């Protein structure tokens, strides 16, 4: 396993729509192992392949990292959602930036696992939020896109300041 570099907000790969995975190859398995190591060592709860520079529909999630029972999703898709709620979230590609985003509080999602089996998961709370956040990455969407203009502009200013200081 290897720890990968996490691409930060501003990197064009985060704005590229990811391709469907055709086959669970060795490379895909290795990618998910490396993504898990990267996520755990960065203390994130989720990571999508574009965040490590790979435009493929793959993400890893673990909202309870002490237990190390990660969810690895290939070609994930939300199939239903209910009850939108506002909660704070962050992203490893935007370190130390947090904002409240409205998302479904419960969802059902379909995905393929590493054995190539099609699965359905029903999730609520933090896990539901994480799945929606990571699938957004695969569609080139970032959580601050949901914010009102003034809020997003403030965050972009803050990022510019940090870029200037070399802190980004």
59 binds Co ion (CB under 5 A): no
The residue annotated as part of the active site, out of 37, 87, 134, 156, is 134
91 binds Co ion (CB under 5 A): yes
CB atoms within 10 A of CB 72: 21
Based on the residue annotation, tell me whether 37 is a catalytic residue of this protein.
no
Nearer CB in complex with Co ion: 35/91: 91
Residue with nearest beta carbon to Co ion? 91
Task: Give CA–CA dist 41/54, Å, rounded.
Answer: 19
Task: Please tell me whether residue 106 adopts helix, strand or coil conformation.
Answer: strand
Distances (CA, A) of 149 to 37, 72, 80, 99, 103: 35, 33, 28, 13, 18
138 binds Co ion (CB under 5 A): no
Q: Which residues bind Co ion (CB under 5 A)?
A: 91
Catalytic positions: 134
């Amino acid at each position: 396993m290897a720890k990968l570099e996490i691409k930060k907000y501003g990197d064009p790969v985060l704005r590229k729509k990811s391709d469907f995975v055709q086959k669970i190859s060795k490379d895909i398995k290795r990618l998910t192992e490396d993504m898990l190591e990267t996520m755990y060592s960065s203390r994130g709860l989720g990571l999508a392949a574009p965040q490590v520079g790979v435009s493929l529909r793959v993400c890893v999630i673990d909202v309870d990292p002490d237990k190390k029972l990660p969810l690895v999703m290939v070609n994930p898709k939300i199939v239903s959602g209910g009850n939108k709620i506002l909660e704070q979230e962050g992203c490893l590609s935007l370190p130390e930036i947090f904002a409240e985003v409205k998302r479904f509080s419960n969802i059902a999602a379909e995905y393929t696992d590493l054995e190539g089996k099609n699965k359905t998961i029903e999730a609520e709370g933090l896990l539901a939020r994480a799945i929606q956040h990571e699938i957004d990455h695969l569609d080139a969407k970032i959580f601050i896109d949901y914010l009102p203009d003034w809020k997003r502009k403030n965050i972009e200013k803050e990022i510019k300041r940090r870029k200037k200081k070399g802190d980004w």
